[in-house]
Chains A and B, each alone.
Chain A
Amino acid sequence: MAAVTVDVATAAQVRRRADPLLVVSATCCLLLIAVALVGGWLAPYQPDEIDVLAASQGPGPHHWLGTDSLGRDVLSRALAGAALSFAGPLLIVLGSVVLGTVLGVVAAWYGGWLDQMLNRLLNVMFAVPGILVAVIASAVFGAGFWAPVIALTLVYIPYAARIIRSAAVRERQQAYVEGLQLAGVSSLSINTKHVLRNVWPLIVAQATIGLGTALADFAAVSFIGLGVQPPAAEWGVMVAEGRAEILDGAPQQSLVAGLCIVVTVVSFNVLGERLAARFGAAR
């Protein structure tokens, strides 16, 4: 009993205090998305503008982040490549969250046989590591943009479905659901208007974290050559193209692209975690 008192008191403090990490990470994420949208116009050079005379230079007054082995401006490539780096992951997260939500909510609602079947299906999907799915997808569909998008969407569905199913099951067990059922409200209505509305914040938090992870995974597939192909300025491709340059002592393309990826993943991870914490405390 006393523990409840202490918890209520401290939880109230948590809710009222502004969350600096949330604000900082949200700002970073918004900035990154902005760069993805307008990066191409902000770039001082064209991302594929070759200037052999300026090849493999370090940071300098003309090229703030240096150039790669073909003399292309690293900063411009990073800015322009942001769009392509984000596009795939956005589709992946959207697809996997939507499909995962449908599967999770349906399984939680009907339970029984359907839930067990879904569980077995998810087990099979979990058993094949993501990178392998991406590799096989590129075998079937050919390397490029779409193979990793399809593959990673499939890979992420089980994670989304499991988490959302747990939350939906908890929600389904709340007393108000039975009340609504007894009042004759349709299953579809209960799920969309009530269950989803309460589970929605969790979905958003998970999707945020998922965006960062998808970006890293998508870049990884491009890195091994089975995703977006050079000369596209996607960040994963840039890290791959920069490999030879690293051996020549000019790591700027790889490191800048790598840094972009890390900053993005950290920002979205932190934002997602802070959102999940805030929504968890509010329940």
Chain B
Amino acid sequence: MNSPPLLDIRRLHLELTGSRPVRTLVEDVTLSVSPGESVGLVGESGSGKTLTVKAAMRLLPSTITATGAIDFDGRSVLEMSRRGLARYRSTDVAMIHQDPRAHTNPLRTVGDFLVEGVVATKQMKRDEAIERACALLGEMGIDDAPRRMHQYPHQLSGGLLQRVMIAMSLLHEPRLVLADEPTTALDVTVQSEVMAILVEQVRGRGLGMLFITHDLDLAAAITDTLVVMYAGTVVERGPAPVLYRNPRHPYTAALLASRPSTTQVKRLVSVPGRPAAAHEVGIGCVFAARCPFATDLCRDERPAERDIGGRTVACHRAEEIGSELERDVVA
């Protein structure tokens, strides 16, 4: 990568403000998104992936304190002035949220919702914004855009509303898109349509994207780089095909192995226990309690991230157990 990263998160640490004992939510997270790169942030509930992304927009509540570095195009997001932050949010970056119904004001029309961002921040006049919004909705596959603009959110289906959300995020031509599980709240039949539209737009415009999901398959299919999180830390990150075919962290392998197979009839593998949150794990490796390969070293000392086999992994035993993991992953 020659160009400097668009989004550069280094050693991000999130904890509940003023909590004693300290309640950590996200620990030592490092990842980056380059211009035109799609990065998939994968993890289960409580892994801290949404919090990380919210931190990148400085949308965390005051009950959470962030330390570490988050840079956008060289500028520190965590230290931006109010004006800088407003400019960053309104022109450089855009966020697509998970549940479009919860994230739209039910008392305002779809049209108002779409153009509010660019008009209120004085980037466009209202008429121009409405025209552009209609055009964008057309690109989303919404034919009767003018009619839809005058409707209220409750009059649109979930899939339609999420397309509106995507259009909203692209209207001010950002350079970076943060997508927080954009299809999880939608019906299964609609998910692939919306995903296709999102990917087409992001690739077509050469935008950087940080895509959050709990679905490793989906992430591997549409992103260039994968970042796997568990209990508030990054356990493995690297090029998507490399991780997908050849995982080096037991958790990544477990995620891959626990998918139902579409080709073979075999017993569904699951990892014993339940996903832990950052404040529930001890001092050692975050996955130690559920890892079949855990040793005393794993339980006592948290592994640092190391470059192995073309990716970065946080595991003491990455080299030794590599071959065992390859065995578990069945295509």
A and B touch in the complex (CB under 8 A): yes
Residues of A within 8 A of B (CB): 1-6, 8-10, 13
Cα distance A3–B97 when bound, in Å?
14
Closest to A3 in B: B50
- Taking CB atoms, residues of chain A closer than 8 Å to B50 are 1-3
Chain B residues within an 8 Å CB radius of A3:
50
Report yes or no: A10 in contact with B46, Cβ–Cβ below 8 A: no
Interface size band for B: 10 to 19
Q: Which residue of A lies closest to B181 (CB)?
A: A1
Given contacts A4-B46, A6-B25, list 6 more A-B pairs with CB under 8 A: A5-B45, A5-B51, A8-B277, A10-B16, A10-B63, A13-B19
Q: How many A-B residue pairs have CB under 8 A?
A: 39
What are 29 A-B contacts defined by CB distance under 8 Å? A1-B45, A1-B46, A1-B47, A1-B49, A2-B25, A2-B46, A2-B48, A2-B49, A2-B50, A3-B50, A4-B45, A4-B46, A5-B25, A5-B46, A5-B48, A5-B51, A5-B278, A6-B25, A6-B51, A6-B61, A6-B63, A6-B64, A8-B277, A9-B16, A9-B19, A9-B23, A9-B277, A10-B16, A13-B19
Q: Nearest Cβ distance between residue A18 and chain B, in whole angstroms?
A: 16
Specify the chain A residue showing the minimal Cβ separation from B64. Answer: A6
B12 to nearest A CB, angstroms? 13
Q: Which residue of B lies closest to A1 (CB)?
A: B45
* Chain A residues near B48 (CB-CB < 8 A): 2, 5
Centre residue among A1, A3, A4, A10 by max chain B CB count within 10 A: A1
Cβ-closest chain A residue relative to B46? A5
- Chain B residues with CB under 8 Å of A2's CB are 25, 46, 48-51, 54
Q: Which of B45-76 contact A (CB under 8 A)?
A: 45-51, 54, 61, 63-64
CB distance from A2 to the nearest CB of B (A): 4
Does B279 sit within 8 A of A, measured CB to CB? yes
Residues of B within 8 A of A4 (CB): 45-46
| In the bound complex, CA of A45 to CA of B63 (Å) | 56
Q: Which residue, A2, A5, A6, has most C-beta atoms of chain B within 10 A?
A: A2
A28 CB to closest chain B CB, in angstroms?
Answer: 30
Chain A residues in 8 Å Cβ range of B19:
9, 13
A10 surroundings in chain B (CB, below 8 A) = 16, 63
What's the nearest-Cβ distance from chain A to residue B61, in Å? 8
* B1-44 near A? 1/0 per residue, CB < 8 Å: 00000000000000010010001010000000000000000001
Bound-state Cα–Cα, A9 to B24, Å: 10
In the complex with contacts A10-B16, A13-B19, A5-B63 CB distance below 8 A = no
CB distance from B275 to the nearest CB of A (A): 9
A5 to B51, CA, bound (A): 10
* Chain A, Cβ-Cβ closest to B277: A5
A15 to chain B, nearest CB (A): 15
